[in-house]
Structure 1
Amino acid sequence: MRNFYSAYWWIFLLRGIFALVLGVLAIVWPGATFTTLIVFLGAYLFIAGSFAMVGAIAARKTAENWGLFLMSGLAGIVLGILTLYNPFATGAALIFLVGFWAMLAGIFEIIIAIRLRTLITGEGWYIAGGLLSILFGILLLSNPENAAITLTWLFGFYAVISGVMLILLSFRLRKK
């Protein structure tokens, strides 16, 4: 008897094809892809928030924390509307968020490497990685327009690799 994954191998194939196409579009057409991704993010936030609110209202008699789900849904709807209203502001905020995160992560990597130097050898590589993270964050923040293209390319390469892996997995599952 075939298992679930082998029976539905084609789902992995479709996901892989979708990821591959999206990745190629992101690499070839990064500006439009970044804007489109932000608009899709807005739509996702709105739809997910709507479902969360409906679920919260439906569960108000059986779930203790239904109010939290309701607030979460409301926040999703508001963020979705704001994103759809001004996708460029959301895109800029995303770039700044990633830039600050990269710098903060780099600082923590350096701190951890310094603290671990008595336990491990080669901590210099971890420090170098932290410095690269900080540099990456600075570069993102110094030129947000190019950062949008760079992040879209990184996403594109990730999506292409992920898509190829999913397609190969689907063929392996089909044989089972």
Structure 2
Amino acid sequence: MKTLQKLWWLTFLRGVILLILAFFVFRHPVNALMGVAIYIGISLLITGILQTAASIGFKDLFPNWEYILAGGLLDIVFGFVLLSNPALTASTLPFVVGFWIMVSGIMSFSDAFQSKKEGNSLWALSMLGGVLSVLIGYLIMSNIVVGVLTITTWMGIGFAIAGIVNITIGLKLKSLK
């Protein structure tokens, strides 16, 4: 705890940086989405390289190392594709996110029926959440502008909340005796 108290300013600084990042996301949502697209491409490239190296280097440990190798090579290819055209990646993100939200909504909706059979009194809430998720996912998928604004707004809100929390923790650590 003493070390955290001495380094309170790092937590405070992280909070300030997160608030600045939130401001940037709200001010430039398209650029923020492009940044996410580039981040995803780089992440796929790195994980693909590591997975490929691990599958070759430790093939004695993995009985089906060829599948791991194939997955790593696919990640590398997708990473290069995403990085070669970040604008295309950014424009497809709302579709991917919307589709993911719709699928999770459908799963929640269908789980509500099982919850009802099991006597869970909150099954209707799960059903409502599933329906709302499907509708929100559809809205994100059907209108790119709405999708971009939705994704970047939630990113900005997340950065802002994390920034405020970090600043608060940093100030609390500073004031501890």
Return the TM-score normalized by structure 2: 0.77
Q: Contact 2:105/2:129 (CA < 8 Å) preserved in 1? A: yes
- Structure 2 gap segments, 5+ residues each: none
Runs of 4+ aligned residues of structure 1 deviating over 6 Å after TM superposition are 66-70
The alpha-carbon deviation at position 86 of structure 1 amounts to 0.8
* Structure 1 match to 2:131: 131
* Structure 1 match to 2:57: 60
- C-alpha distance in structure 2 between counterparts of 1:15 and 1:80, whole Å: 29
* Structure 2 match to 1:33: 32
* Structure 2 match to 1:165: 165
- C-alpha distance in structure 2 between counterparts of 1:60 and 1:86, whole Å: 31
Alignment CA distance shift 1:117-1:84 (3 Å): same
Return the TM-score normalized by structure 1: 0.78
1:4-25: CA deviations, max 9, x gaps?
x444433333332222111111
The answer to whether the aligner puts 1:155 opposite 2:152 as a matched pair is no
SS at match of 1:95: helix
- Structure 1 gap segments, 5+ residues each: none
Alignment CA distance shift 1:54-1:14 (3 Å): farther
RMSD: 3.1
Alignment CA distance shift 1:140-1:81 (3 Å): same
Alignment CA distance shift 1:33-1:115 (3 Å): same
Residue type of the partner of 2:125?
A: W
Alignment CA distance shift 1:84-1:123 (3 Å): same
